[in-house]
């Protein structure tokens, strides 16, 4: 009988005692802190660890995971790391799975396999599973849906909110609100257990900074603030407690940060984590003062800078908690922070709380309300993350290769379209074309952004457009023009080092009419592997067509015209206020607001604008009128 079966009973008889330190830690000095405590714990978990096989007829990691990750509500299932929904019909998001549905290499949907939380390739050297060792450490293994495991791949962990997902801003992986504390404590364990010089397997090095996005700590540049924060924000669950005694019985050691998350605070500082052994013994119960003078500045369509006056405390304030619409969002060690990934033209409310070293919180600040600006018009946007629903289609004019949608390899390792030209058997002639035409005459100030990268060869990738292509069939028989201001470089030396080319807000407003756009790849016998991602065309407010109004119905005049900047506009309408937009002659919107109407007159002032020709548009309920003014 496998050794594991005996330890199954420990799950039901071992209960964590708050304030009581487990006997495993007998002889350690918990009056130490910082690196001294790090070394004490590290020596203990190293000296007591006996590695087990990854896959074996004896007790192996499969056997252990089926016990330590057993679903508390159904002993026939395991809980799946990163999972969150068993009812949406999508295997990849499942939170539980039958123990028997193991993926032993077939790759079938609905199976589970073993996720290395500290990704194998991010350790130094990489974690291997052929022999018992760092790659078979069960503290680092969790059951995961096989597709979800592949989707996470070796992405570094990144901050987020909600369920597990790829974080578009940096290509990282957010494990989900339920799992972020588990992840942090696993990463910290791996750093504690494997802190060698990286020269060989017995000197494996697992540095937190290599597996997550965050700010390196001054006291330890290998640790980042992200994991300390997750450890504090997501306390240990009963499910995590279930793992430690059984794993100790099998491989001999425990994860100290599950037994007491506060050990991380003692070693690295930062937020006060849950203290299950009552090591803090803090007598400080005084709350910091309330942050005041909360101000929003530099508001854009998707970001804002928030600042406030510092709070005071009898011991000292260590950081500030920022709440967005009443929900905790992020922490700042300073009296300023920047919020990003906001929605355009949306109202938000911000409150701030100060926190001291004993985790006493101030009352919330007075609510700060602000509204993000209206964002640009998006004419076309494609991130290639949903390969079943793209705004591009492919056409293979020649060769046996084609553009292929992939769930990785793009900007920040997200979805992308790839042309694996280096594998060609014959010269390629391949197109990636927008599914629908783009109308350039209904807007102004069009700008283009996209990402491309190249490996090998010297084959050119062109971005072209056509006003006579009909959207189907061979594009070769139509007129294609190079996109203005866009020249995609070729690989500098044809080698196997990836070279990245990014284009941000490039002016393509000289394009007129309704056009299709396409990436054109014609191999020159020195093929290149091209990848494209993050394609976006934006525009400013709809272009203004002078004369598109009924002058017979609305007689409007402006005087004096020309003037030095102040104009009076006579409106023959019975209204107290009216919306007026002002554009440059290039149709760029410079102002749009509500004006008071006094006795049929509106006064417009553009003193702060350069001399030249401007267009004024009066917006009415069922009509609009436009006219030109000249500032001298």
The CATH homologous superfamily to which domain 292-371 belongs is: Immunoglobulins (2.60.40.10)
Asked if the 557-631 domain carries CATH number 2.60.40.3080, the reply is yes
Name the β-bridge partners of 327.
324
Q: Which of 550, 559, 554 minimizes the C-alpha distance to 575?
A: 554
Q: What is the mean pLDDT of residues 354-375?
A: 86
Cβ neighbourhood burial of 346 (10 Å; 0-12, 13-18, 19+):
middle
Distances (CA, A) of 498 to 413, 457, 463, 547, 554: 13, 11, 20, 52, 61
CB atoms under 10 Å from CB of 276, counted, come to 21
Q: Would the pLDDT of 10 be above 50?
A: no
pLDDT at 17: 42
pLDDT at 18: 45
Q: What residues does each domain of the chain span?
A: 34-268, 292-371, 379-540, 557-631
φ, ψ (nearest 5 deg) of residue 214: 175, -175
CA distance 562 to 54: 83
Give the 3-state secondary structure of residue 590: strand
Tokens linked to 187: 């990463």
CB within 8 A of 31, min separation 6: which ones? none
DSSP calls for 56-122: -SSS-HHHHHHHHTEETTEEEEEE-TT---SSSS-GGG-SEEETT-B-SS---TT-EEEEESS-GGG
Q: Would the pLDDT of 319 be above 70?
A: yes
Tokens linked to 48: 């007591």
* Locus of tokens 């919107």: 589
Name the β-bridge partners of 353.
321
pLDDT at 107: 66
Tokens linked to 277: 């052994």
* Locus of tokens 């799946």: 80
DSSP calls for 224-262: BHHHHHHHHHSPPPHHHHHHHHHHHHHHS---HHHH-TH
Q: Which region among 231-235, 373-377, 437-441 has the lowest average model confidence (pLDDT)?
A: 373-377
What are 24-66's pLDDT values in tens digits?
999 999 989 999 999 999 999 999 999 999 999 889 999 999 9
Are 330 and 159 in contact by the 8 Å Cβ rule? The answer is: yes
Q: What is the mean pLDDT of residues 137-147?
A: 96
Mean pLDDT of the chain: 87
Q: Which of 147, 139, 85, 88 minimizes the C-alpha distance to 117?
A: 139
Q: Would the pLDDT of 546 be above 70?
A: no
Are 375 and 381 in contact by the 8 Å Cβ rule? The answer is: no
What are 376-400's pLDDT values in tens digits?
888 999 999 888 899 999 999 987 7
What are 158-214's pLDDT values in tens digits?
998 888 998 878 889 999 989 999 999 999 999 999 999 888 888 999 999 999 999
Are 603 and 589 in contact by the 8 Å Cβ rule? The answer is: no
Distances (CA, A) of 495 to 456, 490, 521, 522, 528: 5, 11, 19, 19, 10
pLDDT at 542: 54
* Locus of tokens 């990691």: 61
pLDDT at 454: 93
Q: Which of 392, 409, 381 minimizes the C-alpha distance to 534?
A: 381
Q: Would the pLDDT of 241 be above 50?
A: yes
pLDDT confidence bin for 599, thresholds 50/70/90 = confident
Strand intervals (E) in 117-170: 141-145, 165-167
Q: What is the mean pLDDT of residues 454-461?
A: 92
Per this entry, what is the length of the chain? 632
Q: Which of 583, 458, 589, 443 minimizes the C-alpha distance to 508?
A: 443
Q: Would the pLDDT of 323 be above 60?
A: yes
CA distance 442 to 512: 10
Distances (CA, A) of 218 to 225, 296, 422, 492: 10, 29, 45, 38
pLDDT at 46: 97
What are 214-236's pLDDT values in tens digits?
999 988 999 999 999 999 888 89
Q: Would the pLDDT of 12 be above 70?
A: no
Share of the chain above pLDDT 90, in %: 53
What are 250-301's pLDDT values in tens digits?
999 999 999 999 999 999 987 788 888 988 766 778 999 999 999 999 888 8
Spell out the SS3 assignment of 453-471: EEECCCCCEEEEEECCCCC
pLDDT confidence bin for 622, thresholds 50/70/90 = low
pLDDT at 461: 96
Fold assignment, 379-540: Jelly Rolls (2.60.120)
Tokens linked to 17: 């005692």
| Radius of gyration of the CA atoms of the chain, in A | 31
Q: Do domains 379-540 and 557-631 have the same CATH topology?
A: no
Q: Would the pLDDT of 552 be above 70?
A: no
CA distance 518 to 465: 6
CB within 8 A of 430, min separation 6: which ones? 394, 395, 396, 397, 398, 399, 401, 402, 403, 419, 521
Are 444 and 377 in contact by the 8 Å Cβ rule? The answer is: no
Are 20 and 266 in contact by the 8 Å Cβ rule? The answer is: no
511: DSSP letter? -
Cβ neighbourhood burial of 240 (10 Å; 0-12, 13-18, 19+):
buried
CA distance 556 to 558: 7
282: DSSP letter? -
Q: Which region among 21-25, 102-106, 242-246 has the lowest average model confidence (pLDDT)?
A: 102-106
CA angle (139 as vertex; 133, 144 as ends), nearest 5: 105
Number of H helices, E strands in the chain: 10, 33
Helical segments of 292-388, H only: none
Are 154 and 166 in contact by the 8 Å Cβ rule? The answer is: no
Distances (CA, A) of 551 to 187, 548, 604: 71, 9, 21
Q: What is the mean pLDDT of residues 504-511?
A: 93
625 or 293, which is more confident: 293
Task: Tell me: cis bond preceding 562? Omega within 30 of 0 counts.
Answer: yes
pLDDT at 554: 55
pLDDT at 2: 32
What are 528-540's pLDDT values in tens digits?
999 999 999 998 7
Q: Mean pLDDT highest for which of 237-246, 271-280, 545-554, 620-629?
A: 237-246
């Amino acid at each position: 009988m496998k050794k594991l079966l005996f330890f199954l009973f420990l799950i039901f008889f071992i209960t964590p005692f708050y304030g009581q330190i487990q006997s495993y830690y007998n002889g350690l000095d918990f009056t130490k802190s910082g690196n001294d405590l790090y070394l004490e714990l590290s020596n203990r978990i190293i000296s007591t660890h006996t590695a087990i096989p990854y896959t074996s007829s004896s007790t192996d990691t499969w056997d252990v995971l089926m016990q330590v990750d057993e679903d508390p509500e159904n002993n026939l299932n395991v809980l799946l790391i990163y999972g969150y929904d068993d009812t949406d019909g999508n295997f990849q998001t499942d939170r539980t799975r039958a123990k028997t549905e193991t993926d032993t290499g077939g790759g079938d949907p609905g199976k589970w396999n073993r996720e290395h939380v500290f990704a194998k390739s991010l350790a130094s050297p990489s974690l291997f599973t052929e022999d018992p060792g760092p790659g078979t450490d069960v503290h680092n293994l969790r059951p995961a849906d096989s597709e979800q495991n592949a989707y996470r791949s070796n992405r570094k962990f990144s901050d987020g909110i909600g369920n597990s997902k790829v974080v578009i801003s940096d290509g990282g992986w957010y494990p989900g609100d339920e799992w972020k504390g588990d992840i942090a404590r696993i990463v910290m364990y791996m750093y504690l257990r494997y802190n060698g010089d990286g020269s060989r397997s017995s000197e494996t090095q697992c540095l937190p900074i290599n597996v997550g996005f965050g700010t390196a700590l001054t006291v330890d540049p290998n640790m980042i603030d992200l994991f300390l924060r997750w450890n504090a924000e997501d306390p240990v669950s009963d499910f995590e407690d279930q793992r430690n005694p059984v794993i100790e019985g099998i491989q001999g050691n425990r994860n100290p940060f599950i037994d007491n998350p506060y050990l991380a605070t003692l070693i690295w500082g930062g937020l006060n984590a849950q203290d299950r052994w009552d090591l803090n013994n803090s007598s400080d119960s005084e709350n910091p003062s309330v942050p005041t003078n909360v101000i929003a500045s530099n508001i854009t369509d998707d970001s804002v800078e928030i600042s406030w006056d510092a709070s005071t405390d009898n011991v000292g304030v260590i950081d500030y908690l920022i709440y967005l619409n009443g929900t905790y969002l992020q922490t700042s060690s300073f009296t300023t922070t920047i919020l990003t990934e906001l929605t355009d033209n949306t109202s938000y409310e911000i409150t701030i709380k100060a926190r001291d070293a004993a985790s006493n919180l101030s009352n919330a600040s007075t609510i700060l309300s602000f509204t993000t600006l209206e964002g640009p018009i998006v004419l076309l946007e494609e991130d290639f993350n949903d390969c079943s629903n793209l705004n591009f289609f492919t056409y293979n004019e020649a060769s046996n290769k084609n553009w292929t949608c992939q769930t990785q390899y793009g900007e920040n390792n997200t979805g992308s379209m790839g042309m694996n030209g280096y594998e060609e058997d014959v010269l390629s002639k391949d197109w990636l074309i927008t599914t629908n035409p783009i109308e350039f005459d209904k807007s102004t100030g069009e700008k283009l952004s996209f990402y491309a990268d190249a490996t090998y060869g010297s084959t050119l990738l062109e971005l072209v457009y056509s006003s006579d292509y009909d959207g189907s069939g061979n594009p070769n028989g139509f007129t294609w023009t190079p996109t203005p201001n866009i020249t995609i470089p070729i690989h500098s030396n044809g080698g196997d080092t990836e070279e990245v080319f990014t284009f941000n807000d490039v002016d393509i407003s000289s394009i007129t009419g309704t056009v299709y756009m396409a990436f054109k790849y014609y191999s020159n016998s020195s093929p290149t592997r091209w990848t494209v991602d993050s394609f976006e065309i934006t525009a400013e407010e709809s272009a203004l067509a002078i004369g598109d109004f009924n002058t017979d119905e609305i007689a409007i005049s402006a005087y004096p015209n020309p003037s030095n900047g102040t104009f009076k506009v006579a409106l023959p309408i019975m209204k107290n206020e009216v919306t007026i937009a002002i554009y440059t002659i290039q149709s760029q919107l410079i102002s749009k607001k509500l004006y008071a109407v006094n006795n049929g007159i509106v006064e417009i002032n553009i003193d702060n604008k350069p001399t030249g020709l401007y267009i004024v548009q009066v917006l009415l309920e069922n009509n609009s009128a436009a006219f030109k003014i000249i500032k001298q």
